[in-house]
């Protein structure tokens, strides 16, 4: 019998990025006992990495902007695979969430008349991103962290969650995990659980994501019987650093392009003019002259093609490199040095200036940057009710990157930070209302707790076995080369086979040392989530026989209107009877992937898409 | 379509001397790794983990100088491991990596930084003024860029706590932690003092509860700040001046009395903080998850003589050793 500490709360939020903290603040304000659990220290979650800004149609720079235009841009950017209701709520509510952040202390850059300044980003018709230079995520997370601390929030720092727990009726009733500093196990009982665990990018070799992005929330939801959708839709951000190798994948903000930066190939050509898809042709400039006029006055010319949605730009860069027109280290050139003054660059993009100066020895005010696509964001995630963020199992809610639907097949830059706040708040309300209405005592099943702990400590009991770092590296290699930015059916099948083999290997993990702050063990307990979500992505990618947003199939290069009417849904039909795989979690072989209809948009919203706005 | 995975060239070797141990004590262990072009210290630590020492403990998240997790002392200098390029260190020499000394060791390079999270709870939060009718109509506050820039500088802080680590007042004086907020939280208070919307007056709190007077403005904090925040010049010295003005300047005192929009008193401001009193008094609820401070662990490096606290009535200039 394993020992563990036990705590209790009304609402437990897993994840302390923007969505988790916003959910916590809301649930606590509604009078519920609320606690936040996070894998790292408070204030270090991946939100801190967000750079360019937070999209909200406040109309401070372009008064003609409004939620309808933002809704339209989001849906078109998502190739209409979005949950329309989420896109609508997001566009309507984002401005209030930004203003609320300001009242809590956030200091955004200002317009001439003292309002919040908004910047241009890809796919957004108007300058719409509230920002602080290129460190907007830091501003968001620090403001929310300070608000949570001021509200006296209970925070469980450096606690890795292994599994969700449920009662006999299948209601999610808490979690089991361990303190990373001590290795001691912890059970937290709760009436409602909110997942705000972020993304999955650590399963790829070149990613902008930190070690934390192992898809824990996605996987735990699936293991608890919840549905995931759109897991094949993975965003490769067009501009990650490519050199030196040790920084490959680190993000270069889209703000560089929003503020005038352009992409060039080795011949010096602004190649994006050659890659404008029909869907965006009427609103995209067809000459450099026209594009350059647009920066100062959006009515003087159409948008530069560098500001097409991210999926378009990433694919174009990939094509240029393949055609032999890449930069020396396998990327392309991002040039702002010849476009803006050094003072402007340092003022508007201070983090980028330092990042390149210190990590690559490149002065971006004098030279072009070398950039290429990097795994950045997963559009897919837990299938939720748009209004309440409720997952498809009772007692479970999800917000932020771990939730699916809001961004469809491709997310627009800047829509993530606003998503965190809009749906973080809604998750707080949804979970609080559910907890208030939940009748009877919350009961836990000791068997589930013991099984999870047994599985977690098993690697210590094996004298020899697989090194978790080797499995992680092999998984990253598999996902990078076979489930990357451009996919084909045969490679996806190969990936599915490899993931099964990796799962076999992961059931024989061996870990050295003790349980106190042991990164090798921590990784061993992250691997089941990484394998599970990787499997979901590969399955969805194999099934979606078309190219749409974050899913590009070399063997099906066009969008298929019929495929556009379905989401692929991954689930484990009956987790309690599913065969056990790595670390005691249901085997990846028990996951199914089936098409189900995308929610049908009402006519009034559909009309907005077709209106010439 | 398989993407080619590029492997870097290997040339030469690097020797890492990394502190291994826990609160009970420990020692440096040497690891020799192949050198790789363009690497930072954290890359080499990761390669040590993936090969020779899978249980080597260190914190990290963003690997781009944005999250402030991977703080350590590299060749004796408090630094971010992710922003210290190997090729900026003396070539051919062993690289020594030790945990931050001002905080108790949990294991290897990971320290218990809960002191900082406890101090954070005692800072009264922003108390924003009401919107004017014009602002209500415009939908948001109006603030000029020039007025937000002073606080924006301090909000660049990534909470790496290197300034706290290097600060003489607590680096070798655990006992001072009960009544000293430290540079990170002086800039937090400065940020709020200079915030265009804030209505609190934090000066008395700074002097009486947060030990502002103990700072001898040696600028060590400014030197190690990876965000290049001018902690001493732009935050601490102006705060000291405000505090001195508040106490001893009758004109400023009168000015405060007759100002139309007066700031809240220290007592009122303190009441808005989620918890008050010295750091030793732990507030209810709050940040769980890491052990309470439990004495000094970690490697023994060269110490420094503590600076005497500033006596009441001394001017800031007299305090400064420079």
Rg of chain B on CA atoms, in Å:
22
Q: Which of B50, B78, B107 represents a domain boundary (last residue)?
A: B107
Kindly state whether residues A350 and A459 are assigned to the same domain: no
Provide the edge-to-edge strand list for the sheet that holds A228-229: A381-382, A228-229, A566-571, A592-597
Total tally of structural domains belonging to chain B: 2
What gap in Å lies between CA B41 and CA B46, rounded to an integer?
9
What gap in Å lies between CA A104 and CA A151, rounded to an integer?
12
Kindly state whether residues B248 and B184 are assigned to the same domain: yes
- Which whole number is the average pLDDT over A44-62? 96
Q: Which two tokens stand for residue A64?
A: 């003609």
Closest chain A residue to B283, measured at CA: A152
CA distance, residue B55 to nearest chain A CA (Å) = 5
Residue B144, in any domain of the structure: yes
pLDDT of amino acid A230: 98
Residue A24, in any domain of the structure: no
Whether A545 and chain B come into contact, CB under 8 Å, resolves to no
Kindly state whether residues B179 and B289 are assigned to the same domain: yes
Please say if the pLDDT value at position B4 is more than 80: no
Residue B195, in any domain of the structure: yes
The residue segments making up the domain with residue A480 are 446-603
**First-last CA distance in chain B:** 63
Kindly state whether residues B145 and B272 are assigned to the same domain: yes
Kindly state whether residues A589 and A464 are assigned to the same domain: yes
B86-110 confidence digits (pLDDT tens): 999 999 999 999 999 999 999 999 9
Residue B307, in any domain of the structure: no
Residue B233, in any domain of the structure: yes
Q: Which of A110, A360, A473 lies closest to B148 in CB terms?
A: A110
Kindly state whether residues B259 and B178 are assigned to the same domain: yes
Kindly state whether residues A464 and A587 are assigned to the same domain: yes
Kindly state whether residues B95 and B133 are assigned to the same domain: no
Of residues A142, A102, A115, A119, the one with CA closest to residue A53: A119
Q: Which of A142, A181, A250 lies closest to B63 in CB terms?
A: A250
Residue B208, in any domain of the structure: yes
Helix (H, G, I), strand (E, B) or coil at A178: strand
Q: Decide which of B310 and B26 is more confident.
A: B26
Residue A253, in any domain of the structure: yes
All residues of chain A having their beta carbon less than 8 Å from the beta carbon of residue B36 are 245-246
pLDDT of amino acid B264: 64
A468-526 confidence digits (pLDDT tens): 999 999 999 999 999 999 999 999 999 999 999 999 999 999 999 999 999 999 999 99
Kindly state whether residues A450 and A596 are assigned to the same domain: yes
- Which whole number is the average pLDDT over A220-229? 98
What does the buried/exposed string (b/e) look like for A379-396 if buried means 16 or more CB atoms within 10 Å of the residue's CB?
bbbbbbbbeebbbbbbbb
Kindly state whether residues A245 and A344 are assigned to the same domain: yes
Reading phi first (left if > 0) and then psi (alpha if -120 to 50, else beta), residue B77 is in beta
- Examine residue A244 and say whether the peptide bond preceding it is cis (omega within 30 degrees of 0): yes
Residue B1, in any domain of the structure: no
pLDDT of amino acid B136: 93
Please say if the pLDDT value at position B9 is more than 60: no
Kindly state whether residues B192 and B267 are assigned to the same domain: yes
Whether A13 and chain B come into contact, CB under 8 Å, resolves to no
pLDDT of amino acid B275: 53
pLDDT of amino acid A576: 86
B264-281 confidence digits (pLDDT tens): 665 566 666 655 433 333
Whether A327 and chain B come into contact, CB under 8 Å, resolves to no
Average pLDDT over chain A, rounded to an integer: 96
The residue segments making up the domain with residue B235 are 114-293
Kindly state whether residues B144 and B159 are assigned to the same domain: yes
Q: Which of A356, A375, A394 represents a domain boundary (last residue)?
A: A375
Kindly state whether residues B176 and B280 are assigned to the same domain: yes
Whether B127 and chain A come into contact, CB under 8 Å, resolves to no
Single out the catalytic residue among A76, A163, A237, A426: A237
Kindly state whether residues A341 and A476 are assigned to the same domain: no
Q: Which two tokens stand for residue B68?
A: 């402030």
pLDDT of amino acid A185: 98
Which CATH number is A263's domain given? 3.90.700.10
Kindly state whether residues A364 and A465 are assigned to the same domain: no
Total tally of structural domains belonging to chain A: 2
pLDDT of amino acid B252: 56
Kindly state whether residues A367 and A466 are assigned to the same domain: no
What is the pLDDT confidence band of residue B248, given thresholds at 50, 70 and 90?
low
Q: Is A302 among the catalytic positions? A: no
Kindly state whether residues B247 and B98 are assigned to the same domain: no
- Which whole number is the average pLDDT over A575-601? 92
Kindly state whether residues B67 and B181 are assigned to the same domain: no
- Which whole number is the average pLDDT over A568-596? 92
Q: How many residues does chain A have?
A: 613
Angle at A505 between CA A503 and CA A506, to 5 degrees: 60
All residues of chain A having their beta carbon less than 8 Å from the beta carbon of residue B276 are none
Q: E strand or H helix at A374, and its extent?
A: strand A369-378
Which CATH number is A559's domain given? 1.20.58.100
- Which whole number is the average pLDDT over A164-185? 96
What gap in Å lies between CA A27 and CA A190, rounded to an integer?
13
Q: Which of A323, A352, A375 represents a domain boundary (last residue)?
A: A375
- Which whole number is the average pLDDT over A79-87? 97
Do A371 and A332 meet the contact criterion of CB atoms below 8 Å apart?
yes
Kindly state whether residues A454 and A544 are assigned to the same domain: yes
Contact check, Cβ <8 Å, A49/B50? no
Whether B39 and chain A come into contact, CB under 8 Å, resolves to yes
- Which whole number is the average pLDDT over B31-60? 95
Please say if the pLDDT value at position B6 is more than 70: no
Reading phi first (left if > 0) and then psi (alpha if -120 to 50, else beta), residue B139 is in left
Place of tokens 């070798």: B172
pTM: 0.91
pLDDT of amino acid B273: 63
Q: Which of B107, B129, B151 represents a domain boundary (last residue)?
A: B107
For an interface test with A, which of B66, B87, B293 has the most A Cβ atoms less than 10 Å from its Cβ? B66
Which CATH number is B177's domain given? 1.10.1060.10
Of residues A136, A187, A162, the one with CA closest to residue A8: A187
What is the pLDDT confidence band of residue B315, given thresholds at 50, 70 and 90?
very low
pLDDT of amino acid A245: 86
pLDDT of amino acid B170: 94
pLDDT of amino acid B11: 54
Of residues A244, A203, A314, the one with CA closest to residue B63: A244
Residue A518, in any domain of the structure: yes
Residue B131, in any domain of the structure: yes
pLDDT of amino acid B284: 35
Q: Is A90 among the catalytic positions? A: no
Q: Give the DSSP letter of residue A340.
A: S
What is the value of ipTM here, to two decimals?
A: 0.94
Which CATH number is B57's domain given? 3.10.20.30
Q: Which of B36, B55, B287 lies closest to A157 in CB terms?
A: B287
Residue A14, in any domain of the structure: no
pLDDT of amino acid B309: 34
Comparing A417-421, A454-458, B272-276, the range with the smallest average pLDDT is B272-276
pLDDT of amino acid B3: 37
What is the pLDDT confidence band of residue B301, given thresholds at 50, 70 and 90?
very low
Residue B303, in any domain of the structure: no
Q: Which of B107, B131, B155 represents a domain boundary (last residue)?
A: B107
Q: Which of A329, A345, A375 represents a domain boundary (last residue)?
A: A375
All residues of chain B having their beta carbon less than 8 Å from the beta carbon of residue A147 are 125
- Which whole number is the average pLDDT over A6-11? 97
Residue A525, in any domain of the structure: yes
Residue A122, in any domain of the structure: no
**Count of CB atoms situated within 10 Å of the CB of A10:** 23
Kindly state whether residues B132 and B257 are assigned to the same domain: yes
Helix (H, G, I), strand (E, B) or coil at A109: coil
Kindly state whether residues B120 and B210 are assigned to the same domain: yes
């Amino acid at each position: 019998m394993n020992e563990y500490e036990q705590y209790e709360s009304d609402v437990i939020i897993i994840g302390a990025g923007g969505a988790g903290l916003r959910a916590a603040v809301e649930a606590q304000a509604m009078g519920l006992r609320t606690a936040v659990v996070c894998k790292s220290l408070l204030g270090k979650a991946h939100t801190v990495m967000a750079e360019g800004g937070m999209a909200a149609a406040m109309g401070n720079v372009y008064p003609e902007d409004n939620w309808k235009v933002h809704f339209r841009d989001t849906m078109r950017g998502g190739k209409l695979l979005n949950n329309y209701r989420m896109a609508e709520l997001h566009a309507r509510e984002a401005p209030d969430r930004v203003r609320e952040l300001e009242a809590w202390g956030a200091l955004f850059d200002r317009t001439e008349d003292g309002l919040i300044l908004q910047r241009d980003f890809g796919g957004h018709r108007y300058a719409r991103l509230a920002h602080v230079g290129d460190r907007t995520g830091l501003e968001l997370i620090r403001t929310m962290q300070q608000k949570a601390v001021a509200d006296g929030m209970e925070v469980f720092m450096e606690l890795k969650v292994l599994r969700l727990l449920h009662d006999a009726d299948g209601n999610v009733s808490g979690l089991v995990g361990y303190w990373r500093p001590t290795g001691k196990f912890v059970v937290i009982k709760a009436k409602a659980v909110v997942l705000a665990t972020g993304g999955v990018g650590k399963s790829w070799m070149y990613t902008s994501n930190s070690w934390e992005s192992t898809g824990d929330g996605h996987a735990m939801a699936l293991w608890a019987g919840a549905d995931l959708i759109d897991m094949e839709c993975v965003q490769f951000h067009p501009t990650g650093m490519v050199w030196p190798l040790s920084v490959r994948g680190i993000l270069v903000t889209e703000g560089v392009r929003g503020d005038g930066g352009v992409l060039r190939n080795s011949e010096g050509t602004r190649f994006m003019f050659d890659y404008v898809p029909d869907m965006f042709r009427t609103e995209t400039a067809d000459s450099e002259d026209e594009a350059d006029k647009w920066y100062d006055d959006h009515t003087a010319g159409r948008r530069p093609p560098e500001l097409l949605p991210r999926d378009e730009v990433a694919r174009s860069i990939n094509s240029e490199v393949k055609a032999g027109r890449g930069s020396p280290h396998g990327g392309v050139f991002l040039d702002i040095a010849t476009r803006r003054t050094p003072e402007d660059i340092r003022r508007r993009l201070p983090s980028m200036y330092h990042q390149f100066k210190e990590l690559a020895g490149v002065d971006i005010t004098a030279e072009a940057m070398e950039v290429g696509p990097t795994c950045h964001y997963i559009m897919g995630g837990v299938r939720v009710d748009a209004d309440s963020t409720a997952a498809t199992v009772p007692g479970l809610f999800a917000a932020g990157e771990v939730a699916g639907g809001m961004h469809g097949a491709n997310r627009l830059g800047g829509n993530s930070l606003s998503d965190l706040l809009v749906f973080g708040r809604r998750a707080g309300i949804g979970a609080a209302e559910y907890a208030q209405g939940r009748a009877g005592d919350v009961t836990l099943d000791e068997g589930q707790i013991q099984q999870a702990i047994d599985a977690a400590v098993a690697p210590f009991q094996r004298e020899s076995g697989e090194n978790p770092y080797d499995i992680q590296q092999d998984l990253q290699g598999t996902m990078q080369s076979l489930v990357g930015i451009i996919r084909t059916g045969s490679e996806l099948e190969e990936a599915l086979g490899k993931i099964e083999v990796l799962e076999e290997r992961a059931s024989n993990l061996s870990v050295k040392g003790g349980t106190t702050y042991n990164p090798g063990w921590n990784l061993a307990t992250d691997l089941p989530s990484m394998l599970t979500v990787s499997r979901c992505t590969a399955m969805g990618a194999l099934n979606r026989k078309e190219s749409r947003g974050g899913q590009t199939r070399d063997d099906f290069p066009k969008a298929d209107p019929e495929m556009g009417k379905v989401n692929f849904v991954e689930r484990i039909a009956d987790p309690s009877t599913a065969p056990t795989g790595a670390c005691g979690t249901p085997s990846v072989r028990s996951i199914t992937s089936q098409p189900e209809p995308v929610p049908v948009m009402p006519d009034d919203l559909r009309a907005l898409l077709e209106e010439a706005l | 379509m398989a993407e080619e995975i590029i492997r870097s060239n290997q040339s030469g070797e690097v020797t890492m001397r990394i502190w291994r141990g826990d609160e009970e004590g420990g020692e440096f262990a040497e690891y020799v790794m192949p050198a790789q072009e363009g690497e930072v210290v954290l890359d080499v630590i990761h390669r040590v983990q993936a090969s020779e020492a899978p249980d080597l403990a260190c914190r990290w998240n963003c690997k781009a100088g944005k999250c402030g997790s991977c703080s350590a002392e590299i060749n004796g200098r408090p630094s971010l491991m992710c922003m210290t390029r190997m090729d900026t260190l003396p070539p051919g020499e062993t690289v020594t990596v030790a945990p931050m000394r001002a905080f108790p060791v949990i294991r290897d390079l990971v320290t218990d930084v809960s002191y900082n999270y406890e101090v954070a709870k005692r800072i009264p939060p922003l108390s924003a003024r009401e919107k004017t009718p014009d602002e209500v109509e415009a939908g948001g506050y109006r603030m000029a860029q020039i007025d937000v820039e002073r606080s924006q500088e301090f909000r660049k802080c990534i909470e790496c706590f290197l300034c706290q680590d290097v600060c003489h007042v607590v680096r070798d004086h655990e006992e001072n932690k009960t009544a000293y907020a430290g540079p990170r939280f002086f800039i937090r208070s400065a940020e709020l003092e200079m915030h265009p919307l804030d209505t609190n007056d934090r000066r008395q709190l700074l002097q009486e509860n947060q030990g502002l007077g103990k700072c001898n403005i040696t600028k060590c904090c400014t030197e190690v700040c990876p965000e290049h925040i001018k902690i001493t010049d732009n935050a601490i010295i102006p705060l000291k001046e405000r505090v001195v003005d508040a106490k001893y300047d009758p004109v400023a005192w009168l000015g405060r009395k007759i100002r139309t929009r007066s700031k809240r008193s220290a007592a009122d401001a303190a009441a808005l903080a989620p918890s008050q009193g010295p750091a030793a008094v732990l507030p209810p609820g709050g940040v769980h998850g890491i052990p309470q401070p439990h004495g000094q662990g970690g490697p023994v490096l060269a110490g420094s003589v503590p600076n005497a606290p500033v006596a009441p009535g001394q001017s800031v200039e007299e305090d400064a050793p420079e």
